[in-house]
Amino acid sequence: MIENHMALIESICPDLNLIARGKVRDLYRIDENSLLFVATDRISAYDVILKNGIPGKGKILTQISVFWFKYLKDIVPNHLITCDLNDMPEVLQKYKDQLEHRCMLVKNLKVLQVEAIVRGYITGSAWSEYKQKGSICDIPLPEGLQESQSFETPLYTPSTKAEIGQHDQNIHPSKASEIIGENFAHDIAKISIQLYTKARDYAFKKGIIIADTKFEFGIDSNKIIYLADEVLTPDSSRFWLSSKYEIGRSQDSFDKQYVRDYLTSIGFDKKTSIALPDYIIQKTREKYIEAYKLLTGDEPDFL
């Protein structure tokens, strides 16, 4: 276990079969049917993993995902088997210090190779495309939309799942059918909109705007569709504080705001990893805690 200031930067579980380390998560194969997702405290900005982590961030992200899996389970089944370490295989128990509250045992699925992005508000790459071409993913849109304005109905704008080192590419929904087949493409588009709409309405009442989000889906051997990966976390979505929302400009990112401002102030080159000062780490940690409290209404007593 590599720790700094109590942040778990990397999980070290030599008796487990590590299959990948993403920007934030470490992924282990447990057996033929299951995987272990471990959310570390790593933080990335502009796709660069920073040198120090945000203590507790991985636990908070895991618990936010688990909250949504439960809240959304009536719309579609999900891959979560358990997030309770006590219910996981014996071989994991010796790594309790590292894993507790930050891991999920999930069904090993065949992941559908499309990122299911839903946008409720026009921002980011969608705003850039709209300004240039009046469309998003080549879907034509009404004239005169302002930055950060909400759409009348949420927009489904899938993207490819890029290989390591490549960037995802936005695609027209019809192209998703070519990649994963018409039936799956149709189903995940419909499910994604339902998931987003239910989550957006819930979060809005709690003071958070979910501007957009990305879902991933997988299928089991019976071709049943499951919601996979992480869901509706600040890492897979854009969260805005509704009390600060103003149409016609870009919005502060709920969680990364202090990090981005700091990196801008030091002229960060978006390539070379650096360490964040302690006060930025503390303020950012407080934002993650605030997101958890607002969304779930609970105290993060697992921290």
Q: What's the Cα-to-Cα distance from 176 to each of 81, 169, 189, rounded to whole Å?
A: 28, 11, 10
Pick the piece of the chain touching ligand ATP (CB under 6 A) from 52-60, 92-100, 108-116, 239-247: 108-116
| 29 sits near ligand ATP (criterion: CB under 6 A) | no
Angle CA(41)–CA(238)–CA(150) in degrees, nearest 5? 170
Closest CA to 227 of 122, 151, 118, 150: 118
Residues 41, 129, 229, 255: which binds ligand ATP (CB under 6 A)?
229
Longest C-alpha distance within the chain, in Å? 59
Closest CA to 110 of 183, 184, 182: 184
Helices vs. strands in the chain: H and E counts, helices first = 7, 18
Closest CA to 120 of 81, 78, 148, 79: 148
Burial letters for 128-162: b for 16+ Cβ neighbours within 10 Å, e otherwise?
A: ebbeeeeebbeeebeeebebbebeeebbbbbbbee
| 25 sits near ligand ATP (criterion: CB under 6 A) | yes
| 191 sits near ligand ATP (criterion: CB under 6 A) | no
| CB atoms closer than 10 angstroms to residue 117 | 23
| Helices marked H in the chain | 57-71, 96-99, 124-133, 173-180, 182-205, 257-265, 278-296
CB of 190 to ligand ATP, least distance (A): 20
Closest CA to 120 of 199, 205, 33: 199
| 256 sits near ligand ATP (criterion: CB under 6 A) | no
| 22 sits near ligand ATP (criterion: CB under 6 A) | yes
CB of 143 to ligand ATP, least distance (A): 34
Residues 8, 16, 30, 35: which binds ligand ATP (CB under 6 A)?
35
| 34 sits near ligand ATP (criterion: CB under 6 A) | no
CB of 135 to ligand ATP, least distance (A): 26
Residues 8, 9, 36, 106: which binds ligand ATP (CB under 6 A)?
106
CB of 142 to ligand ATP, least distance (A): 33
- Closer residue to ligand ATP in complex, CB, 24/281: 24
CB of 265 to ligand ATP, least distance (A): 26
- Letter for the amino acid at 210? I
| 109 sits near ligand ATP (criterion: CB under 6 A) | yes
| 57 sits near ligand ATP (criterion: CB under 6 A) | no
CB of 42 to ligand ATP, least distance (A): 9
| 82 sits near ligand ATP (criterion: CB under 6 A) | no
Pick the piece of the chain touching ligand ATP (CB under 6 A) from 16-24, 61-69, 149-157, 186-194: 16-24
Pick the piece of the chain touching ligand ATP (CB under 6 A) from 18-26, 95-103, 263-271, 295-303: 18-26
| 27 sits near ligand ATP (criterion: CB under 6 A) | yes
Sign of CA dihedral 253, 199, 214, 273: positive
Tell me how far apart the alpha carbons of residues 44 and 23 are, in angstroms, rounded to a whole number: 7
| 24 sits near ligand ATP (criterion: CB under 6 A) | yes
Query: Could you list the residues that contact ligand ATP (CB under 6 A)?
Result: 20, 22-25, 27, 35, 79, 106-109, 111, 216, 218, 228-229
